[in-house]
Structure 1
Amino acid sequence: MDGDDMGNGDGVETDLVRGREACRRGAWDEAYELLVRADAGSPLPAGDLERLAEAADMVGRCDDTVRLLRRAYQEHAGSGAVGPALRCAYWLCKTLAWGGEFAQSGVWSTRARRLADASASQDCPEFAYLLLLDAELLFRAGEYAECLAVARRMGPLAEAGEDPDLVACVAMTLGIGLVKSGEIGAGLAQLDEAMTAVAGGEPSARATAMVYCVVIGVCEEYQEVRRAREWSDALADWCAAQPDFTGAYRGLCRVHRVAILRQGGEWPDAVREARLACDQLTGGYGTAVAGGAYYQLGEVHRLRGEFADAEQAYQDALRYGWDPQPGTALLRLAQGRRDTAVAVIRRALAETSGTTATPGPGGTAGAGEPMSRVRLLPAAVEILTGTETAAVPDDDLADAARAAAELAAFAEAYPDTTALQAMSGHATGAVRLAGGAAGDALPLLRQAVRLWHELDLPYESARTRVLIARACRTLGDEDSAAMELDAARQTFARLGAAPDLARASSAPGGRDGDCGLSPRELEVVRLLAAGGTNHAIAAELVLSERTVARHVSNIFGKLKVGSRTAAAAYAFEHGLVGRDRP
């Protein structure tokens, strides 16, 4: 940024110099205060207004960001600095869009384009900022081939300049365009280039945050679990080094982090991060993605058996414009409302079937959003085969088989995506098992478990083990069934997956018998094992002490123990609570 002249007055000069230095260090609160004070003493030049706008953005003062970027744009445009003005217009449009002010964002985009046309600046490097806005509009409209064409056009412009933000953002956009156009390998490689650029530390903080979040989001959508985790860890380190970073992009960073934590089994941390993301994204800027934060919160609540909290979180996700499927459908299944779950998931599949297509040979995507189907298909198989009756209804089994076959087509199209291979193996194995072909199901399920282990996804691994146990029991191998079921139980207990643990504990064949604890009793026994008194447990679970005492008595009876110490020992020995859990 330009505008490095010192300003007038010793105090102003000191604040200005210190403010610039604070920006370089990422001390955003300090930078904001110093530059605001310097601006009050003597109006800042355009380059320093941009610095102050970035500091305001990073600490969540987005109204100030908009005001400051308008000033910077006008200063640059008034002095004939068209390129810097276009840069300001880009970030101004992005900030307005974060606040849901899409009409104003469009006005400023048009205004910047008129400035570029009037000054014949279509060949200047910063004109690529306007092309970035064009590409984003095309992306949102689903016009991916056109988005890719614009991205390729802006590449030479970015290379001709010396703007690290522009280089990183163009690489990111090119990568997205390639991925969405079906060139998955080339697109992911290009996204890695963008991430390498931001990891080098040259782009601005706001560009770094944006590129991190967008790339991780694409990796999650395309089931690139290892990539998403690697870049999420790097993002977490970057955020930790900037504790003042509390703006809207920080909330989006948290949403992606929640997904990684949930997959890795770190559910308490996932809940904490999700709640922080919800708070940050509902403060006026970032509401467009707040639904994603609530959806992730709902997912963790559902897995932990906190159904009322999950219901509320999914409702909040819907309120902020986020599709709460397949989470709501899976919640209905967990609540024992299978018919409702089946109706919901069938409606969701039908709603996407007319606008999507299974990828063709070589991973070339069809029309629309095929990956939106991948999000639904595993849940569809789970719901359609998830019956407590002796046999799955024929219509449900047929629909489950079609869903598994479609998922297998995705796995075949993207053979290097380990998570898709595991998802497909689990789904096809579940269908074969439900159809009475346990022997055919086992190889697929065992392969899925191996892949889940490679990806370090413990919950998914445990769910597949439950199916393996069922298949082994069907084939008369009770000993292997018991081993698989015990392994699943221990994982569910360690994670706090109360509904899954209750179902696995009620299944026949586990070693040391069936503990038979309800989800609430499992919560009580974990707190009891941690040394909690009835009073403390009541406060933690928002129950009366009389209710807790009744749960403790029931736990003693089901575990066949006579004391709190014996109950705690049983819980640790049988994996109902991990020894390292608080």
Structure 2
Amino acid sequence: MTDTARLRAAARAAHQNRAWRQAAEALRAVDADDGLTPEELTLLAEAAYLSGDPAGCVTAHERAFAMHAASGESHSAARSAFWAGLILASSGGQSAAGGWLARAMRTLDECGDGDCVERGYLLIPLARAHYAAGRFTGTEEAAGRAADTGRRHGDRDLVAFAAHSQGRALLRLERLDEGLALIDEVFVETFPNGLTSSVLTGIVACSVVDGCQQVGAFDRAQEWTAALSAWCDEQPELAQFSAECLVHRAEVLLRRGRWQDSLLEARAAARLAEEGALRGPAAAAAYRRGEALRLLGRSDEAEAAFRAARSGGYDPAAGLARLQWGLNRAQAARATVRRALAVTDDPIRRAEFLPAAIEVMVGAGELSEAASGAAELAEIAKRWPTTGLRAPALHAGGSVALAAGEAAPAAASLREAWSLWSAQPAPFEAAQARLLLARACSALGDEEAAKEEEQAALAVLTALHAQDKEPAQPAALSAGAAQVGLTAREAQVLGLLTTGLRNRAIAERLVLSERTVDRHVSNILGKLGVPTRTAATAFAFAHGLS
């Protein structure tokens, strides 16, 4: 076997093992020495994209298109043109993206094949364009046609890609049961092993988490986030989706009251996003960082993070207004939420801002404006009756009723809100609802119930603040772990293992499956050359890893 043949074999092996950076480097070496086939260019495109080089990905697809077209392979040429267009569109190159997608369509038109799987793929950009413009019926129709094409041709990747888009559209069209059923079907097709295309696996998973979070389907968002995290953790050289995954994890941890852990994940997401020049994930990470810092009482840092989010295109109004109100900057808080609502028509986006606006207006004594906001939020929750939207709507309605002296309806709403927050679980919001419920009980003359509700709420808040006074993972852990060959995730697991946590608790802490943590612990023991968890803990202490 020649050196080039060995390099080719090594490149394919690296690609098969999802060692994306190694695969890209080996394929580029083969290309420099002997050139790449169209199939190898497609492998290079995927490896380049997943290792953080979208420009290299597009170039490889463009070269593959030219070679396929020259050989008369119209369907393969159209597939390469589609991918070039899709990656360019996601990177902001709309003119070039449109050109490549049009070229893909023209290639198919010229070959005269009216029913092929590539035409199904070319419906996806149309569905995405409809969604971006708020034309959700158009998205559902285009994505449905694409899914049907995928089923006819037995292309599971196209079916998953199209069905998740169709599901997201149905969620926005207030057809929750249908939308969630489609998304659940895509889940079992996508995980645990991923789709044929790793690029599509990441795109679909990140898109589903975003769509579920938008409509308050947080149970689905958490399940997809855990599965996505496990998938990312299995690929240490994965760069492209790791930042988005960490943003989603930060959001889940924030909702669970794990503020310090959320802050760590948001910071890691920001670093990866900045390294990959990913403006959207960087801004989203900045907002989550701001929220964690606000809840931890680090106001100056929180405000700086919110400013960073805004400069990146993410409106931080909800968190910023709460921060301003907590700092007794009432006028600024009112201005922040009023501005955000004045420029936002989308009801789902307004549902993100309304709870903060209502808190501020109730505190400022602007009860008419608060009541109007609470009524709007209640109507949104009726249209999308998920736990994630019903809980804040009931919470807001109860707070307005309490401020207006209507203690009985306030108590009913707040008790239901507390129940829904607790079920998510969202312990901080549940405790806040319970404090208001205590006031409602007191207003109704039941001081014993009021005392019990207040004590229960304060116990939760005390526990939340106590656990987030734990020191963050020391910097020495990452440096020392690297020296013994641990990945970043394995180092994080080792750090928690040394505190005495069992695998299930570590899984809950890191928003991973217990099976994933089991695998990480096994890898850690192997790399450290020790037989037991106790020995791993001793090794960590002896070598300054803890």
| TM-score clears 0.5 | yes
In the superposition, relative to structure 1, how do residues 77 and 266 fare at CA in structure 2: closer, same or farther (>3 Å)? farther
Cα offsets for 1:101-130 (capped at 9, x unmatched): 222222222222222222224421112222
Give the aligned partner of residue 577 of structure 1. Answer: none
CA offsets, 1:8-33, max 9 Å, x none? x6222222223222222222233223
Aligned to 2:423: 454
In 2 relative to 1, CA 231–284 (structure 1 residues): closer, same or farther, beyond 3 Å? Answer: closer
Alpha-carbon deviation of 1:60? 0.9
TM-aligned CA deviation for residue 191 of structure 1 = 1.7
AA aligned opposite 1:375:
E
Please state how far the C-alpha of 1:340 moved relative to its aligned partner.
2.0
Please show how residues 422-433 of structure 1 align to structure 2 within 5 Å.
422-433=391-402
The structural deviation recorded for 1:169 is 0.7
Aligned-partner Cα distance in 2 for 1:497–1:476: 33
1:360 alignment partner in structure 2: none
Match of 2:197 among 179, 201, 204: 204
1:297: Cα distance to partner?
1.7
User: 1:488: which partner in 2?
Assistant: 457
Take 2:84 and 2:465, find their aligned partners in 1: how far apart are those partners? 44
Q: Report the equivalent of 1:503.
A: none
Map of 1:542 onto structure 2: none
Alignment of 1:502-581 (within 5 A): 526=469
Match of 1:410 among 367, 380, 384: 380
Question: 2:297 and 2:10 mapped to 1: Cα distance?
Answer: 51
- Inter-partner Cα distance in structure 2 for 1:93 and 1:132: 11
Residue of 455, 470, 474 corresponding to 2:443: 474
Give the match for residue 377 of structure 1.
354
Q: What amino acid sits opposite 1:222 in the alignment? A: V
SS of 2:117 mapped into structure 1 = coil
Give the equivalent residue in structure 1 for 2:523.
none
Letter aligned with residue 22 of structure 1: A
Is 2:223 the partner of 1:239?
A: no
Q: Which residue of 1 aligns with 2:493?
A: none
Q: Is the 8 A contact 2:381 2:390 kept in 1?
A: yes
Matches within 5 A, 1:234-383: 234-247=227-240, 249-283=241-275, 285-352=277-344, 355=345, 369-383=346-360
Answering whether residue 366 of structure 2 is matched by residue 386 of structure 1, we say no
Q: Which has the higher helix share?
A: 2
Give the match's secondary structure for 1:374: helix
Unaligned runs of 5+ in 2: 472-508, 510-545
Distance (whole Å) between structure 2 residues aligned to residue 68 and residue 270 of structure 1: 37
Partner of 1:441: 410
Q: Out of 215, 219, 224, which is 1:226 matched to?
A: 219
Change (3 A) 1:285 1:79: farther
Give the Å deviation of 1:69.
1.7
Q: Tell whether the 8 Å contact from 2:147 to 2:158 is kept in structure 1 after alignment.
A: no
Residue in structure 2 matching 1:400, options 370, 384, 390:
370
Deviations 1:134-165 (A, max 9, x none): 21122112222222221222223212334332
1:107 maps onto 2:107 in alignment: no
Change (3 A) 1:267 1:89: farther
2:129 counterpart residue number: 137
Q: Which has the larger radius of gyration?
A: 1
Instruction: Tell me, in whole angstroms, the C-alpha distance in 2 between the residues paired with 1:331 and 1:497.
Output: 21
Structure 1's 282 and 300: CA in aligned 2 closer, same or farther, altered over 3 A? Answer: same
- Asked if the contact 1:126–1:158 (Cα under 8 Å) also holds between the matched residues in 2, the reply is no
Q: Which one is further off, 48-57 or 143-152?
A: 143-152
CA distance in 1, matches of 2:276, 2:18: 24
Structure 1 pair 253/27, CA: closer, same or farther in 2 (3 Å)? same
Q: Give 3-state SS (helix, strand or coil) of 2:399's partner.
A: helix
Which residue pairs with 2:138 in the alignment?
A: 146
| Structure 1 partner of 2:542 | none
* Match of residue 518 from structure 2: none
CA contact (8 A) 1:100 1:285 kept: no
Instruction: Give the residue type in structure 2 aligned to 1:405.
Output: A
Q: Is the 8 A contact 2:269 2:281 kept in 1?
A: no
Give the Cα separation in 2 of the matches to 1:89 and 1:308: 48
Unaligned runs of 5+ in 1: 1-8, 356-368, 499-522, 531-579
In structure 2, how many angstroms separate the alpha carbons of the residues matched to 1:250 and 1:77? 34
Task: Please give the alpha-carbon distance, in whole angstroms, between the structure 2 residues aligned to 1:57 and 1:217.
Answer: 21
Q: Aligned residue for 2:497?
A: none
Q: Distance in 1 between matches of 2:137 and 2:441?
A: 49
1:85–1:334 distance in 2 versus 1, CA, 3 Å? farther
Structure 2 residue 170 is the aligned partner of structure 1 residue 178: yes
- Per the alignment, do residues 288 and 86 of structure 1 end up closer, same or farther by CA in structure 2, a change over 3 Å counting? farther
Give the Cα separation in 2 of the matches to 1:299 and 1:429. Answer: 24
Q: 1:230 is matched by which residue type in structure 2?
A: E
Name 1:512's counterpart in structure 2: none
Residues 59-105 of structure 1: CA deviation (Å, up to 9, x unaligned): 11223222212212222222222222232223322322343322222
Distance change in 2, residues 1:481/1:229 (3 Å): same
- Secondary structure in 2 aligned to 1:385? helix
Whole-angstrom CA distance in 1 between matches of 2:82 and 2:300: 42
What's the offset of the Cα at 1:41? 2.5
Whether contact under 8 Å (1:209, 1:250) holds in the other structure is no
- 1:48 is matched with 40
Q: CA deviation at 1:289?
A: 4.2
Identical residues among aligned pairs (%): 37
When structure 1 is superposed on structure 2, of 106-115 and 225-234 the one drifting more is 106-115
